[in-house]
Amino acid sequence: MKNLLLIAVFSLPLLVLAEENISINGVDEPAWKDFAPPAYVDVKAPKGLGKFNDTSVYWYKRKVEFENGIEQCRAIEANDAKFSCYQQLKVKQYQKNSDYNARLEAINNAKMVPQEMYDRTNNMIPLGSQINNFMRYQPNEFN
């Protein structure tokens, strides 16, 4: 009986720590990893040549904005208002992700070249032989 009680006492804190979402006063706090691509979850302030990497700078700015939003939501005392703040923050981040993905798709579509541009057998006309044939049937003024 004592062994079961000891196991329960020691396993309960481990179960609470294993939960992924941070819960403060019963309100689940969103995590940055839910919104950022895996490569940019731990993004740091770009330094040196990293300042020219637009993608890294973009995700760093988004992370800073997200963390500021979390801090503002944590400052709210009432649980209902805090929950509402977190929900608004989530919606805002999902909208930014949607806009970012649409922008990437538009860039990729603009770079895409139609397949017929690469298929030279259909586009290219062997002009050399046609010009020779055309010249053969013209009256020869120089003879």
d(CA 138, CA 50): 66
Strand partners, 24: 27
Mean pLDDT of 105-116: 76
Q: What is the pLDDT of residues 32-67, one digit of tens each?
A: 999 999 988 998 888 887 788 888 899 999 999 999
pLDDT at 9 exceeding the cut of 70: no
Q: Is the pTM of this model over 0.95?
A: no
Q: What is the pLDDT of residues 52-105, one digit of tens each?
A: 888 889 999 999 999 999 999 999 999 899 999 999 999 999 999 999 999 999
